[in-house]
Chains A and B, each alone.
Chain A
Amino acid sequence: MQTPGPIEYERATSVQNAIQLLEKYGPETRLLAGGHSLLPMMKLRLANPERLIDINELDELSYIREAESEVRIGAMTRHRELLESELLATHFPVFIDAEQVIADPPVRNRGTIGGSLAQADAAEDLSAVCSALKANVVIVGSEGERVVSMDDFHIGPYMTAIQDGEILTEIRLPVRPGGGSAHEKVERRAGDWAIVAVSAALWLEGGRIADAGVALSAAGPTTVHATRSEELLRGKEPAEELFAEAGGLASEDCSPIADGRGPVDYKRHLADVLTRRALSRAAERASRLEG
Protein backbone atom coordinates (compact mmCIF):
# COMPACT_ATOMS: atom_id res chain seq x y z
CA MET A 1 0.00 0.00 0.00
CA GLN A 2 1.39 3.35 -1.03
CA THR A 3 0.22 6.40 0.86
CA PRO A 4 1.83 9.77 1.46
CA GLY A 5 3.46 10.24 4.87
CA PRO A 6 1.91 12.56 7.45
CA ILE A 7 1.57 16.15 6.28
CA GLU A 8 0.07 19.42 7.32
CA TYR A 9 -2.38 20.89 4.81
CA GLU A 10 -3.59 24.36 4.09
CA ARG A 11 -5.48 25.94 1.23
CA ALA A 12 -4.26 29.11 -0.37
CA THR A 13 -6.96 31.72 -0.94
CA SER A 14 -4.99 33.80 -3.46
CA VAL A 15 -1.59 33.94 -5.12
CA GLN A 16 -0.43 36.46 -2.52
CA ASN A 17 -1.72 34.23 0.25
CA ALA A 18 0.17 31.25 -1.25
CA ILE A 19 3.39 33.29 -1.21
CA GLN A 20 2.77 34.37 2.39
CA LEU A 21 2.20 30.76 3.43
CA LEU A 22 5.35 29.60 1.61
CA GLU A 23 7.38 32.28 3.39
CA LYS A 24 5.79 31.54 6.74
CA TYR A 25 6.39 27.80 6.66
CA GLY A 26 9.71 27.63 4.86
CA PRO A 27 11.40 25.22 2.43
CA GLU A 28 9.75 21.97 3.60
CA THR A 29 6.47 23.29 2.23
CA ARG A 30 5.30 22.44 -1.28
CA LEU A 31 2.54 23.78 -3.47
CA LEU A 32 -0.05 21.17 -4.48
CA ALA A 33 -1.43 21.71 -7.98
CA GLY A 34 -3.06 18.77 -9.81
CA GLY A 35 -0.98 16.42 -7.68
CA HIS A 36 -0.29 13.88 -10.40
CA SER A 37 3.48 14.22 -10.04
CA LEU A 38 3.79 15.31 -6.41
CA LEU A 39 1.46 12.74 -4.81
CA PRO A 40 3.11 9.75 -6.56
CA MET A 41 6.50 11.09 -5.46
CA MET A 42 5.23 11.44 -1.91
CA LYS A 43 3.92 7.87 -1.97
CA LEU A 44 7.39 6.67 -2.99
CA ARG A 45 9.06 8.98 -0.42
CA LEU A 46 10.96 10.67 -3.25
CA ALA A 47 9.34 13.86 -1.97
CA ASN A 48 8.76 14.36 1.75
CA PRO A 49 7.25 17.78 2.27
CA GLU A 50 6.07 18.60 5.78
CA ARG A 51 3.25 20.74 4.55
CA LEU A 52 1.21 21.20 1.38
CA ILE A 53 -0.31 24.47 0.29
CA ASP A 54 -3.21 23.48 -1.96
CA ILE A 55 -3.63 25.93 -4.84
CA ASN A 56 -6.44 24.03 -6.58
CA GLU A 57 -9.01 26.64 -5.56
CA LEU A 58 -7.10 29.48 -7.23
CA ASP A 59 -9.38 30.09 -10.20
CA GLU A 60 -7.40 33.29 -10.82
CA LEU A 61 -4.64 31.01 -12.22
CA SER A 62 -6.93 29.15 -14.63
CA TYR A 63 -7.22 30.87 -18.00
CA ILE A 64 -6.03 30.93 -21.60
CA ARG A 65 -6.20 34.39 -23.13
CA GLU A 66 -4.61 36.65 -25.72
CA ALA A 67 -2.81 39.81 -24.56
CA GLU A 68 -0.03 41.96 -26.01
CA SER A 69 0.84 39.63 -28.92
CA GLU A 70 1.01 36.68 -26.55
CA VAL A 71 -1.17 33.80 -25.54
CA ARG A 72 -1.06 33.70 -21.75
CA ILE A 73 -1.90 30.57 -19.84
CA GLY A 74 -2.54 30.52 -16.10
CA ALA A 75 -0.41 27.97 -14.27
CA MET A 76 -3.42 26.10 -12.87
CA THR A 77 -4.99 25.57 -16.29
CA ARG A 78 -5.64 21.85 -16.56
CA HIS A 79 -4.54 19.64 -19.44
CA ARG A 80 -8.14 19.19 -20.48
CA GLU A 81 -8.62 22.93 -20.89
CA LEU A 82 -5.47 23.10 -23.01
CA LEU A 83 -6.71 20.25 -25.20
CA GLU A 84 -10.09 21.93 -25.70
CA SER A 85 -8.77 25.47 -26.27
CA GLU A 86 -9.66 26.95 -29.65
CA LEU A 87 -7.18 29.75 -29.08
CA LEU A 88 -4.35 27.23 -28.72
CA ALA A 89 -5.62 25.14 -31.62
CA THR A 90 -5.49 28.24 -33.81
CA HIS A 91 -2.13 29.64 -32.76
CA PHE A 92 -0.24 26.62 -31.40
CA PRO A 93 -1.62 23.28 -32.64
CA VAL A 94 1.47 21.65 -31.07
CA PHE A 95 -0.44 21.88 -27.79
CA ILE A 96 -3.33 19.85 -29.15
CA ASP A 97 -0.96 17.22 -30.59
CA ALA A 98 0.75 16.89 -27.21
CA GLU A 99 -2.34 16.98 -25.04
CA GLN A 100 -3.91 14.10 -26.94
CA VAL A 101 -1.03 11.88 -25.85
CA ILE A 102 -0.38 13.17 -22.31
CA ALA A 103 -1.61 10.52 -19.87
CA ASP A 104 -5.37 9.89 -20.17
CA PRO A 105 -8.62 11.85 -19.80
CA PRO A 106 -9.08 11.48 -16.00
CA VAL A 107 -5.45 12.48 -15.38
CA ARG A 108 -5.86 15.40 -17.79
CA ASN A 109 -8.85 16.56 -15.72
CA ARG A 110 -6.49 17.18 -12.77
CA GLY A 111 -2.97 17.78 -14.08
CA THR A 112 -1.97 21.38 -14.78
CA ILE A 113 0.47 23.10 -17.12
CA GLY A 114 2.18 24.83 -14.20
CA GLY A 115 2.62 21.55 -12.35
CA SER A 116 3.99 19.88 -15.47
CA LEU A 117 6.60 22.57 -16.10
CA ALA A 118 7.54 22.95 -12.43
CA GLN A 119 8.10 19.20 -12.12
CA ALA A 120 10.91 19.63 -14.69
CA ASP A 121 10.83 15.98 -15.70
CA ALA A 122 12.83 15.57 -18.91
CA ALA A 123 10.27 13.10 -20.26
CA GLU A 124 7.33 15.45 -19.81
CA ASP A 125 5.79 16.72 -23.06
CA LEU A 126 4.71 20.30 -22.32
CA SER A 127 8.24 21.36 -21.40
CA ALA A 128 9.33 20.55 -24.96
CA VAL A 129 6.23 22.25 -26.35
CA CYS A 130 6.92 25.45 -24.41
CA SER A 131 10.62 25.36 -25.25
CA ALA A 132 9.92 25.03 -28.99
CA LEU A 133 7.42 27.89 -28.80
CA LYS A 134 10.01 30.13 -27.05
CA ALA A 135 7.72 30.54 -24.07
CA ASN A 136 8.49 32.65 -21.05
CA VAL A 137 7.20 31.86 -17.59
CA VAL A 138 6.19 34.26 -14.85
CA ILE A 139 7.44 33.55 -11.33
CA VAL A 140 6.01 35.61 -8.49
CA GLY A 141 7.39 36.15 -4.97
CA SER A 142 6.99 38.75 -2.27
CA GLU A 143 9.60 40.89 -4.05
CA GLY A 144 7.55 41.00 -7.23
CA GLU A 145 7.52 39.03 -10.46
CA ARG A 146 10.20 37.72 -12.78
CA VAL A 147 9.81 36.65 -16.40
CA VAL A 148 12.11 33.76 -17.28
CA SER A 149 12.77 31.96 -20.59
CA MET A 150 12.35 28.18 -20.76
CA ASP A 151 16.13 27.78 -21.12
CA ASP A 152 16.65 29.65 -17.85
CA PHE A 153 13.65 28.04 -16.16
CA HIS A 154 14.79 24.42 -16.33
CA ILE A 155 18.17 24.46 -14.64
CA GLY A 156 18.54 20.69 -14.20
CA PRO A 157 16.66 17.42 -13.78
CA TYR A 158 13.64 18.19 -11.55
CA MET A 159 15.15 21.61 -10.86
CA THR A 160 13.71 24.97 -11.86
CA ALA A 161 14.44 28.64 -11.33
CA ILE A 162 11.56 28.85 -8.82
CA GLN A 163 13.07 29.82 -5.47
CA ASP A 164 11.71 29.24 -1.97
CA GLY A 165 8.74 31.48 -1.40
CA GLU A 166 7.93 31.79 -5.09
CA ILE A 167 5.12 30.50 -7.29
CA LEU A 168 4.89 29.93 -11.03
CA THR A 169 1.81 31.83 -12.16
CA GLU A 170 1.75 32.13 -15.95
CA ILE A 171 3.14 30.79 -19.21
CA ARG A 172 3.51 33.32 -22.04
CA LEU A 173 3.65 32.24 -25.65
CA PRO A 174 4.70 34.90 -28.15
CA VAL A 175 2.36 35.05 -31.16
CA ARG A 176 4.22 35.79 -34.38
CA PRO A 177 2.92 35.74 -37.95
CA GLY A 178 3.42 32.75 -40.21
CA GLY A 179 3.68 30.26 -37.37
CA GLY A 180 3.09 26.50 -37.49
CA SER A 181 3.88 23.84 -34.90
CA ALA A 182 3.59 20.12 -34.20
CA HIS A 183 4.42 17.50 -31.57
CA GLU A 184 5.47 13.93 -32.39
CA LYS A 185 5.68 11.26 -29.71
CA VAL A 186 6.41 7.57 -29.66
CA GLU A 187 5.24 5.76 -26.53
CA ARG A 188 5.04 2.11 -25.51
CA ARG A 189 1.33 2.21 -24.75
CA ALA A 190 -1.52 4.74 -24.52
CA GLY A 191 -0.85 7.40 -21.90
CA ASP A 192 2.74 6.43 -21.16
CA TRP A 193 5.75 8.69 -20.94
CA ALA A 194 7.52 9.22 -24.24
CA ILE A 195 10.27 6.93 -25.46
CA VAL A 196 11.22 10.12 -27.27
CA ALA A 197 9.02 13.07 -28.25
CA VAL A 198 9.81 16.14 -30.34
CA SER A 199 8.11 19.53 -30.47
CA ALA A 200 8.79 21.76 -33.46
CA ALA A 201 7.69 25.26 -34.42
CA LEU A 202 8.42 27.28 -37.55
CA TRP A 203 7.69 30.90 -38.36
CA LEU A 204 7.64 31.59 -42.10
CA GLU A 205 8.18 34.96 -43.73
CA GLY A 206 8.06 35.34 -47.48
CA GLY A 207 8.54 31.62 -47.98
CA ARG A 208 11.59 31.42 -45.71
CA ILE A 209 12.01 30.25 -42.15
CA ALA A 210 12.27 33.42 -40.06
CA ASP A 211 12.64 31.45 -36.84
CA ALA A 212 12.46 27.85 -35.67
CA GLY A 213 11.98 26.03 -32.38
CA VAL A 214 12.94 22.40 -31.77
CA ALA A 215 12.89 20.64 -28.39
CA LEU A 216 12.97 17.00 -27.34
CA SER A 217 11.40 15.10 -24.42
CA ALA A 218 12.94 12.00 -22.84
CA ALA A 219 16.16 12.50 -24.78
CA GLY A 220 18.49 13.75 -22.04
CA PRO A 221 18.68 14.70 -18.34
CA THR A 222 16.52 17.76 -19.03
CA THR A 223 14.32 18.87 -21.92
CA VAL A 224 16.71 19.08 -24.88
CA HIS A 225 16.63 22.40 -26.68
CA ALA A 226 18.03 21.60 -30.15
CA THR A 227 19.70 24.96 -30.81
CA ARG A 228 21.95 23.70 -33.65
CA SER A 229 18.89 22.44 -35.53
CA GLU A 230 17.22 25.80 -35.05
CA GLU A 231 20.26 27.71 -36.32
CA LEU A 232 20.43 25.48 -39.38
CA LEU A 233 16.79 26.14 -40.22
CA ARG A 234 16.80 29.92 -39.89
CA GLY A 235 16.79 31.84 -43.15
CA LYS A 236 16.25 28.77 -45.33
CA GLU A 237 13.31 27.61 -47.40
CA PRO A 238 11.37 24.77 -45.82
CA ALA A 239 12.26 21.45 -47.49
CA GLU A 240 12.33 17.78 -46.54
CA GLU A 241 16.12 17.58 -47.08
CA LEU A 242 16.61 20.51 -44.72
CA PHE A 243 14.36 18.89 -42.10
CA ALA A 244 16.33 15.66 -42.43
CA GLU A 245 19.53 17.56 -41.75
CA ALA A 246 17.91 19.24 -38.72
CA GLY A 247 16.79 15.81 -37.51
CA GLY A 248 20.32 14.52 -37.82
CA LEU A 249 21.65 17.38 -35.70
CA ALA A 250 18.96 16.86 -33.05
CA SER A 251 19.84 13.18 -32.94
CA GLU A 252 23.54 14.05 -32.40
CA ASP A 253 22.87 16.75 -29.83
CA CYS A 254 20.53 14.82 -27.54
CA SER A 255 21.81 12.46 -24.85
CA PRO A 256 19.28 9.70 -24.17
CA ILE A 257 20.04 6.85 -21.79
CA ALA A 258 19.25 3.16 -22.25
CA ASP A 259 16.34 2.04 -20.09
CA GLY A 260 13.18 -0.06 -20.19
CA ARG A 261 11.88 2.13 -22.99
CA GLY A 262 14.73 1.34 -25.34
CA PRO A 263 18.45 1.45 -26.13
CA VAL A 264 20.34 4.62 -26.97
CA ASP A 265 20.64 4.04 -30.72
CA TYR A 266 16.88 3.48 -31.03
CA LYS A 267 16.17 6.70 -29.12
CA ARG A 268 18.61 8.63 -31.32
CA HIS A 269 16.87 7.17 -34.35
CA LEU A 270 13.54 8.39 -32.94
CA ALA A 271 14.99 11.84 -32.25
CA ASP A 272 16.01 12.07 -35.90
CA VAL A 273 12.79 10.77 -37.44
CA LEU A 274 10.42 12.58 -35.06
CA THR A 275 12.25 15.88 -35.58
CA ARG A 276 11.81 15.54 -39.35
CA ARG A 277 8.15 14.65 -39.00
CA ALA A 278 7.39 17.43 -36.51
CA LEU A 279 9.14 20.02 -38.70
CA SER A 280 7.37 18.77 -41.78
CA ARG A 281 3.95 19.03 -40.13
CA ALA A 282 4.83 22.41 -38.60
CA ALA A 283 5.80 23.71 -42.06
CA GLU A 284 2.60 22.38 -43.59
CA ARG A 285 0.53 24.14 -40.92
CA ALA A 286 2.54 27.35 -41.21
CA SER A 287 2.19 27.55 -44.98
CA ARG A 288 -1.50 26.77 -44.77
CA LEU A 289 -1.87 29.84 -42.56
CA GLU A 290 0.46 31.95 -44.69
CA GLY A 291 -1.28 30.94 -47.89
Chain B
Amino acid sequence: MEITVTVNGDRLTREIEPALLLVHFLRDTLGLTGTHWGCDTSNCGACVVHLDGRPVKSCTTLAASCDGHEIRTIESMEVDGRLDSVQQGFQEEHGLQCGFCTPGMIMTARALLDENPDPSEAEIRTAISGAICRCTGYANIVRAVRWAAEHESAEARR
Protein backbone atom coordinates (compact mmCIF):
# COMPACT_ATOMS: atom_id res chain seq x y z
CA MET B 1 0.00 0.00 0.00
CA GLU B 2 1.04 3.60 -0.48
CA ILE B 3 1.27 6.13 2.33
CA THR B 4 2.10 9.82 2.36
CA VAL B 5 3.50 11.23 5.56
CA THR B 6 5.22 14.44 6.56
CA VAL B 7 8.46 13.55 8.29
CA ASN B 8 10.43 16.40 9.82
CA GLY B 9 8.67 18.82 7.49
CA ASP B 10 9.19 16.79 4.29
CA ARG B 11 6.19 15.26 2.57
CA LEU B 12 7.11 11.73 1.50
CA THR B 13 5.22 9.02 -0.35
CA ARG B 14 6.35 5.41 0.00
CA GLU B 15 5.09 1.94 -0.85
CA ILE B 16 4.95 -0.20 2.32
CA GLU B 17 3.69 -3.51 3.67
CA PRO B 18 0.58 -2.80 5.78
CA ALA B 19 2.09 -4.59 8.80
CA LEU B 20 5.15 -2.32 8.86
CA LEU B 21 5.70 -0.64 12.21
CA LEU B 22 6.45 3.07 12.30
CA VAL B 23 9.88 2.48 13.88
CA HIS B 24 10.94 0.25 10.96
CA PHE B 25 9.45 2.66 8.42
CA LEU B 26 11.60 5.43 9.86
CA ARG B 27 14.77 3.38 10.26
CA ASP B 28 14.66 0.99 7.30
CA THR B 29 12.47 2.64 4.67
CA LEU B 30 13.62 6.23 5.26
CA GLY B 31 17.07 5.52 6.75
CA LEU B 32 16.38 7.73 9.77
CA THR B 33 18.23 5.58 12.28
CA GLY B 34 18.28 8.22 15.00
CA THR B 35 15.05 6.74 16.35
CA HIS B 36 16.14 3.72 18.35
CA TRP B 37 14.40 0.40 18.39
CA GLY B 38 14.55 -1.03 21.89
CA CYS B 39 12.25 -3.37 23.74
CA ASP B 40 9.64 -3.81 20.99
CA THR B 41 6.94 -4.01 23.67
CA SER B 42 6.08 -0.32 24.25
CA ASN B 43 7.86 -0.37 27.60
CA CYS B 44 11.26 1.27 27.09
CA GLY B 45 10.50 4.47 25.17
CA ALA B 46 13.67 4.45 23.04
CA CYS B 47 11.48 4.63 19.91
CA VAL B 48 9.44 7.68 20.92
CA VAL B 49 8.71 10.12 18.08
CA HIS B 50 6.10 12.85 17.75
CA LEU B 51 2.90 12.01 15.86
CA ASP B 52 0.97 15.23 15.18
CA GLY B 53 2.97 16.85 17.99
CA ARG B 54 2.40 14.20 20.64
CA PRO B 55 4.96 11.65 21.76
CA VAL B 56 4.10 8.07 20.79
CA LYS B 57 5.93 4.75 20.80
CA SER B 58 6.78 4.00 17.19
CA CYS B 59 7.28 0.27 17.89
CA THR B 60 3.57 0.00 18.64
CA THR B 61 2.18 2.18 15.86
CA LEU B 62 1.59 1.01 12.29
CA ALA B 63 3.18 3.19 9.63
CA ALA B 64 -0.10 2.75 7.75
CA SER B 65 -1.96 4.55 10.56
CA CYS B 66 0.33 7.56 10.02
CA ASP B 67 -0.81 8.08 6.42
CA GLY B 68 -1.70 11.76 6.13
CA HIS B 69 -0.13 12.66 9.46
CA GLU B 70 2.99 14.43 10.68
CA ILE B 71 5.97 12.71 12.25
CA ARG B 72 8.85 14.43 14.00
CA THR B 73 12.02 12.54 14.87
CA ILE B 74 15.30 13.27 16.65
CA GLU B 75 16.87 14.15 13.27
CA SER B 76 14.83 17.37 13.21
CA MET B 77 16.16 18.66 16.52
CA GLU B 78 19.43 20.16 15.31
CA VAL B 79 18.91 23.04 12.91
CA ASP B 80 21.79 24.55 10.93
CA GLY B 81 24.37 23.19 13.31
CA ARG B 82 22.55 24.50 16.37
CA LEU B 83 21.37 21.89 18.84
CA ASP B 84 17.91 22.06 20.37
CA SER B 85 18.07 23.28 23.94
CA VAL B 86 17.06 19.82 25.18
CA GLN B 87 20.06 18.36 23.36
CA GLN B 88 22.24 21.10 24.86
CA GLY B 89 20.82 20.30 28.27
CA PHE B 90 21.78 16.64 27.88
CA GLN B 91 25.29 17.76 26.94
CA GLU B 92 25.61 20.28 29.78
CA GLU B 93 24.19 18.05 32.51
CA HIS B 94 25.69 14.75 31.33
CA GLY B 95 22.19 13.44 30.51
CA LEU B 96 23.48 10.44 28.60
CA GLN B 97 25.87 7.63 29.24
CA CYS B 98 25.51 4.83 26.66
CA GLY B 99 23.11 6.99 24.65
CA PHE B 100 20.66 4.29 23.67
CA CYS B 101 17.62 5.82 25.39
CA THR B 102 18.64 9.36 24.43
CA PRO B 103 16.61 9.91 21.22
CA GLY B 104 13.41 8.77 22.94
CA MET B 105 14.23 10.72 26.10
CA ILE B 106 14.88 13.89 24.13
CA MET B 107 11.71 13.57 22.04
CA THR B 108 9.70 12.87 25.19
CA ALA B 109 11.26 15.87 26.95
CA ARG B 110 10.74 18.11 23.91
CA ALA B 111 7.04 17.26 23.87
CA LEU B 112 6.82 18.04 27.59
CA LEU B 113 8.49 21.45 27.23
CA ASP B 114 6.35 22.33 24.21
CA GLU B 115 3.31 21.98 26.46
CA ASN B 116 4.73 22.94 29.81
CA PRO B 117 7.76 25.26 29.50
CA ASP B 118 8.46 25.25 33.25
CA PRO B 119 7.94 21.70 34.55
CA SER B 120 8.71 20.71 38.13
CA GLU B 121 10.99 17.75 38.82
CA ALA B 122 7.89 15.64 39.52
CA GLU B 123 6.32 16.64 36.20
CA ILE B 124 9.52 15.76 34.36
CA ARG B 125 9.67 12.38 36.07
CA THR B 126 6.04 11.68 35.16
CA ALA B 127 6.66 12.70 31.55
CA ILE B 128 9.65 10.35 31.20
CA SER B 129 8.05 7.52 33.19
CA GLY B 130 7.60 5.64 29.92
CA ALA B 131 11.27 5.94 29.01
CA ILE B 132 13.80 3.61 30.55
CA CYS B 133 17.49 4.46 30.95
CA ARG B 134 19.36 1.25 31.67
CA CYS B 135 22.41 3.23 32.73
CA THR B 136 19.96 4.55 35.37
CA GLY B 137 21.08 8.11 34.75
CA TYR B 138 17.73 9.62 35.64
CA ALA B 139 19.00 12.32 38.00
CA ASN B 140 21.11 13.83 35.24
CA ILE B 141 18.33 13.41 32.67
CA VAL B 142 15.94 15.35 34.90
CA ARG B 143 18.60 18.03 35.40
CA ALA B 144 19.13 18.16 31.62
CA VAL B 145 15.44 18.80 31.01
CA ARG B 146 15.41 21.47 33.72
CA TRP B 147 18.49 23.04 32.12
CA ALA B 148 16.61 23.21 28.81
CA ALA B 149 13.54 24.72 30.46
CA GLU B 150 15.56 27.40 32.21
CA HIS B 151 17.62 28.10 29.12
CA GLU B 152 14.53 28.47 26.95
CA SER B 153 12.75 30.75 29.40
CA ALA B 154 15.88 32.92 29.67
CA GLU B 155 16.01 33.12 25.88
CA ALA B 156 12.34 34.00 25.71
CA ARG B 157 12.90 36.87 28.17
CA ARG B 158 15.65 38.36 26.05
Contact = CB atoms under 8 A, between A and B. Distances in A.
Contacts, number: 83
A148 B41 CA distance: 32
Interface of B: 1, 17-21, 24, 40-43, 45, 48, 51, 54-57, 60-62, 64-65, 67, 108, 126-127, 129-131
A35 B60 contact: yes
A276 to B, nearest CB: 27
A11 B18 CA distance: 11
B19 A5 contact: yes
A40 B39 CA distance: 11
A89 interface: no
Contacts of B64: 9, 54
Given A35-B65, A191-B130, A106 B21 contact: no
A103 interface: yes
Contacts of B108: 105-106
8 contacts: A3-B19, A8-B18, A9-B19, A35-B60, A39-B62, A104-B45, A106-B55, A107-B57
A107 B19 contact: no
Contacts of A43: 40-41
A67 B127 CA distance: 33
A40 B41 contact: yes
| Size range of the chain A interface in the assembly | 20 to 34
Given A9-B62, A191-B129, A52 B57 contact: no
Nearest to B40: A2
Contact of A32 (B42, B48, B51, B65): B65
Contacts of A110: 56-57, 60-61
Given A8-B18, A104-B45, A105-B129, A40 B65 contact: no
Contact of B55 (A36, A109, A191): A109
Interface string A92-114: 00000000000111110110000
A105 B126 contact: yes
B18 A39 contact: no
A260 interface: no
A100 to B, nearest CB: 8
B134 to A, nearest CB: 13
A9 B56 contact: no
Interface string A150-174: 0000000000000000000000000
A4 B16 CA distance: 14
B26 to A, nearest CB: 14
Contacts of A6: 17-19
Contacts of A42: 19
Interface in A189-237: 190-191
A7 interface: yes
A60 B64 CA distance: 20
Nearest to B17: A6
